Amino acid sequence: MFDNKIILVTGGTGSFGGVFVPTILEKYNPKKVIIFSRDEMKQWEMAKKFQGDDRVRFFIGDVRDKDRLYRAMTGVDYVVHAAATKIVPTAEYNPFECVKTNVMGAMNIIDACIDMGVKRVVALSTDKASSPINLYGATKLTSDKLFVAGNAYSGEHPSRFAVVRYGNVMGSRGSVIPFFNSIKDSGSVTITDPRMTRFMITLEEGVDLVIKAFEDMIGGEIYVKKIPSMNVIDLAKVVAPNAKHEIVGIRPGEKLHEQMIGEEDAPTTYEYDDYYKILPVINNWSDDANRIKTGKKVNSDFIYDSETNDEWMSHEELNTWLEKNKEKIGVL
């Protein structure tokens, strides 16, 4: 579906874009892939990787700047919205900046896509958007709601919006694995709480889910990948087996366990082979057969969180992944 199409990725120089862009270029033949981001140095570094491929273009801009978005989206068919202020403590201490990017930026994306005739938009979300306790999660929940409602807001326009929600991206910049990796030689690693669990997803799995969303969406769906959980103590034991554990306490805005689907979403959630789909309540779209397709409705008390998850990543599985991806950890 991406052949001869123009795709724009906001925040495209981040971890997601570093895998999504080469995947799209390899598996499809897009007319153009536009990287829209505000960091010129990251763009310069990324451009070197695609030197000689005139399908890849770079556009300096900020999702807070609606005029710049309008200019960038001229002729664009599909948009992946990956730009975000996402580090939890940073958001807690800089709430206004987080709201400007994650909420106002989402509104700008929706308006620009509708007015410029973009066909489909997939916005990246997070497990922190389900029953949020921190500002980052609250802004992403708001963003999710905006993109879902964008399908009604667009009226007669062809633009359609969907959301992809997933957990801790293994090995990505700023995540727990490169953090443990960076301090393991000191002889100790800091653990916030030994009970803490997290969902674990690879960048490749995240990219595959976004592509699946583009292919499957009618509009308003939230896609949730089925992924394993891991206890942070076990994670530390694998990444830094000889290091001592220093318990430092939970950081501002952190949860003990992450959640991707809350009980309040269960009545409109459907299960598929390797993912779940939360359907929108508005306009009775949760009962729409075109959106449900082959899905099986979950139980009314269903919760999908990292503590009660049925699937857990073993030490062996993580070790295998670490060995295979050791050159990429903390780079993307």
For residue 79, give the amino acid letter.
V
The answer on pLDDT for 57 being more than 80 is: yes
pLDDT digits (tens, 9 = 90+) for 13-52: 999 999 999 999 999 999 999 999 999 999 999 999 999 9
Neighbours of 158 (CB within 10 A): 10
Phi then psi for residue 317, to 5 deg, are: -65, -40
Is residue 33 within a helix (H) or strand (E), and if so which, with residue range? Answer: strand 32-37
**In the block, residue with structure tokens 């990956």:** 82
Average pLDDT over every residue of 164-184: 83
- What band does 71 get if pLDDT is binned at 50, 70 and 90? very high
pLDDT at 297: 97
Report which DSSP code applies to 19: H
Q: Which residues contact 221 (CB under 8 A, 6 or more apart)?
A: 162, 163, 213, 277, 278, 279, 280, 291
pLDDT at 332: 62
User: For the CA atoms of 207, 209, 213, 215, what is the dihedral angle to 10 degrees?
Assistant: 80
Active site residue 212: no
Percent of the chain past pLDDT 70, that is, above it, reads: 99
The answer on pLDDT for 127 being more than 70 is: yes
In 3D space, the residue among 276, 288, 125, 170 whose CA is nearest the CA of residue 219 turns out to be 288
Neighbours of 58 (CB within 10 A): 18
The answer on pLDDT for 8 being more than 70 is: yes
pLDDT at 174: 72
pLDDT digits (tens, 9 = 90+) for 183-193: 777 788 889 99
Instruction: Look at strands 222-225 and 275-278 and give their pairing.
Output: antiparallel
In 3D space, the residue among 108, 85, 86 whose CA is nearest the CA of residue 97 turns out to be 85
Average pLDDT over every residue of 171-177: 79
Q: Which residues contact 305 (CB under 8 A, 6 or more apart)?
A: 257, 258, 259, 260
| Active-site residue, selected from the candidate residues 128, 225, 255, 277 | 128
Extract the tokens encoding 243. Answer: 């290091």
- What's the chain's average pLDDT? 94
- What band does 330 get if pLDDT is binned at 50, 70 and 90? low
Q: Rounded distance, CA 126 to CA 237, Å?
A: 26
**Among 154-163, 178-187, 201-210, which is the least confidently predicted range?**
178-187
The answer on pLDDT for 235 being more than 70 is: yes
User: 112 with 62: CB under 8 angstroms?
Assistant: no
Phi then psi for residue 120, to 5 deg, are: -140, 145
The answer on pLDDT for 304 being more than 70 is: yes
pLDDT at 188: 85
Average pLDDT over every residue of 167-195: 83
User: 80 with 15: CB under 8 angstroms?
Assistant: no
Q: Rounded distance, CA 109 to CA 182, Å?
A: 36
Q: What is the CA radius of gyration of the chain?
A: 20
Average pLDDT over every residue of 51-70: 97
pLDDT at 61: 98
**Among 54-58, 232-236, 322-326, which is the least confidently predicted range?**
322-326
User: 146 with 129: CB under 8 angstroms?
Assistant: no
pLDDT at 76: 98
In 3D space, the residue among 152, 136, 48, 155 whose CA is nearest the CA of residue 95 turns out to be 136
Q: Rounded distance, CA 163 to CA 146, Å?
A: 10
Average pLDDT over every residue of 48-77: 97
The answer on pLDDT for 256 being more than 70 is: yes
pLDDT digits (tens, 9 = 90+) for 144-165: 999 999 999 999 999 999 999 9
Task: Report how far apart the first and last C-alpha atoms of the chain are (Å, whole number).
Answer: 26
pLDDT at 154: 96
Q: Rounded distance, CA 102 to CA 106, Å?
A: 6
C-alpha distances in angstroms, 192 versus 35, 62, 189, 276? 35, 33, 10, 30
The answer on pLDDT for 236 being more than 70 is: yes
pLDDT at 331: 63
Written out in words, the top-level CATH class of the domain with range 6-168+201-226+259-306 is alpha beta
**3-class SS of residue 259:** strand
Q: Rounded distance, CA 116 to CA 66, Å?
A: 12
- What band does 167 get if pLDDT is binned at 50, 70 and 90? confident
